[in-house]
Structure 1
Amino acid sequence: MKKALITGANRSIGFEAARQLLKKGYYVYLGSRTLANGQEAVDKLKAEGLTEVEAIALDVTNDESVKNARTELGTKTNVLDVLINNAGISGGFPQTAQTSSIDTFKEVFDTNLYGVVRTTQAFMDLLQQSAEPRIVNVTSGLGSLTMHTDTSWKYFAVKGAIYAPSKAALNMYTITLAYELRDTPFKVNAVDPGYTATEFNHFRGTGTVHDAAARLVKGATLAPDGPTGTFFSDDNNPETGISLW
C-alpha cells in the first residue's frame, strides 16, 4: 500500500485530496497544525468507511513541529510515496506593492515557501525509499509570471503583492528541485487547484473542492513516464491542464 502525507489536510482541498487518495487505496497521513483538528478530520473520513488514515501534528512554519512529525512518521513507516505540500495562507487582501508590510511578507513566505522547503527536506529521506516518489507543491495561477503579463488572462487585474510572489518563488523552487532529481524516479510538480470556493477566499471561488483536489491527486499519482518540473493549471491550458513553465 502506497503512503501519502498531506500538509494542511484537516479541511478544504487538502481534506478532499486525502479522501480521494484513500479511495485509490493509499494510506494517508493527514497533516494538521493541531492534532485535535487533524483527529476530527480523520474521524469524519473513518465515518465514511475510509479507515487507512491517521492524523499527524504538523505546523510547516515551525522547525520543531516538522522535526517531530518526521520522527513520528518514521516510527510508522520507512517509506513515503507521496508528499503534497498543501498548507498555505493568503496574507489577506488587498495587497499593494507600495504599502504591504514586511511582516506580512515574512508570514506568508514562511508558510507558502519556507514551509514547503522545511517539510520537503525533512521527509526527503523517506521519499527516497519509494520506487515512485511524487511531490506536489500546491501553487496558484497568481504565481505565474507568464499569465500575469498576458492582458487577456481573466485574472490579469488580480495583483496580490505578497501572495503571488510567494507562489512564484514556490514555482521556481519546484523547478529547481525537479531538476536536481531529474535522473531519479521522482516526479516533482507545481499544481494550481484553480479558483476554488473555500474559506481561503471566503467562498468566492468558482470551482469545486472536489475538482481542485482531483488536480492534486493527478499530480500525486503520475505514471513513471509522467512529467516533472511542470506547472499544472487548467487556467493556462484548458485542453490538457498542463503547461511547461
Structure 2
Amino acid sequence: MTTKTALVTGANKGIGFAIAHGLGLQGIRVGIGARNDARRQDAVDKLRAAGIDAFGVPLDVTSDHSVAAAAADSIHDLDILVNNAGISGGDQQNPTTLDIDVLRTTLDTNVFGVIRVTNALLPKLLRSASPRIVNVSSNMGSLALQTGPIMAAYAPSKTMVNAMTVQYARQLADTAVIVNACCPGYVATDFTGFASTRTPEEGARIALKLAALPDDGPRGGFFDDAGTVAW
C-alpha cells in the first residue's frame, strides 16, 4: 500500500497541529507547514516521538517565493492539503473605523494564502488517486448565522474562503480533487486566548473527516461537527 502524504499549513500549534497529529495516526505522512523554523522543528519532533512520519515544510503563505520553494523543494507527492494557516487580524475590527492595512494583512494570510498554496500544489494533487483539499474556515464567515463578535477583517476573510472553496470545487468538478471548507468551532488555542473548553483535537475532527471523504463525497460544501453550515 502506498502511503498518502498530507500538508497542513500553520501546523506548528493549535488546531493545525491537532490535524497533523490526527492524519499521522492514520498512517499518513504529514508535512508541517510553518514559517518559524524552531517551532516547526519542535512540532515535527513531537509528532515523530509519537510514532508519526512527519517532516517540516518551511512555508510563509504570504510569500510567493516561500510557497513556490515549498512546492518545488519540500513537497514531491501530495494527496491531502489542509489550508489551516490564519490570523485573527487583532482586536480593532470595528467596520466604521477599520484600518485598511489590517484588512489587507488579514486577507493576505487568510485568503490569498489559501490561493497561493492551493494553486502551487494543485499539479501535485492532480496526480493523486484521491486528492482532498480542506479549507479551515469559521462560522463567523457565515452571512446567514452572523456568529461571534463583530470582526470586520477576520469574518469577511472567512466568507471569502468559503466563496473560493465553491469556486475551486466548481472548477475541479471533473477531476478527482474534492474541495470543502470546515468550521472547527470555538477552540481553546492562543488564537482565542484559550477561552473555551473545546480542545484542538475536537476542533480537528471535521477537517480529518473531510480529508478522508470517499470519492463520491460532497464537494464545495461548508461543514462542522453537526453537518452543513449555512452560507
The answer to whether the 8 A contact 1:139-1:191 is kept is yes
1:35 CA drift (Å): 2.5
* SS at structure 2 position matched to 1:130: coil
Deviation, 1:94, is 4.2
Does 2:83 align with 1:85? yes
SS in 2 for 1:83: strand
Give the corresponding residue for 1:228.
219
Q: Partners in 2 of 1:136 and 1:244 — Cα distance? A: 17
Q: Does 1:200 align with 2:186?
A: no
Hey, what's the Cα distance between the residues in 2 that align with 1:108 and 1:208?
24
Residues 145 and 230 in structure 2, CA contact (< 8 A), matched pair in contact too:
no
Q: How does 1:123-138 map to 2 (within 5 A)?
A: 123-138=121-136
Instruction: Give the counterpart letter for 2:74 in structure 1.
Output: L
Distance between the aligned counterparts of 1:107 and 1:244, measured in 2? 26
CA positional deviation for 1:37: 1.5
List runs of 5+ in structure 1 lacking aligned partners: 149-154
RMSD value, Cα: 1.3
Deviations 1:32-63 (A, max 9, x none): 1122211111111112222x110010000011
Pairs within 5 Å for 1:23-172: 23-50=25-52, 52-74=53-75, 77=76, 79-148=77-146, 155=147, 158-172=149-163
Q: TM-score, normalised by structure 2?
A: 0.95
What is the total number of aligned residue pairs between the two structures? Answer: 229
Give the equivalent residue in structure 1 for 2:181.
190
Q: Distance in 1 between matches of 2:49 and 2:139?
A: 35
- Post-superposition Cα deviations, 1:69-94, rounded to whole Å, max 9, x if no partner, equal 111124xx2x2100000000001124
Q: Does 1:173 align with 2:164?
A: yes
Where does structure 2 lack aligned partners over 5 or more consecutive residues? Answer: none
TM-score scaled by structure 1? Answer: 0.90
**Quick one: percent identity of the two aligned structures?**
46
Matches of 2:179 and 2:159, distance apart in 1: 16
SS across alignment from 2:207 = helix
For residues 145 and 49 of structure 1, the distance between their equivalents in structure 2, rounded to whole angstroms, comes to 42
1:230·1:244 contact (CA, 8 Å) conserved in 2? no
Cα pair 2:144 2:230 within 8 Å, conserved: no
What displacement does 1:162 show? 0.8
Q: Distance in 2 between matches of 1:65 and 1:5?
A: 15
Contact kept, 8 Å, 1:82 with 1:133, in 2: the verdict is yes
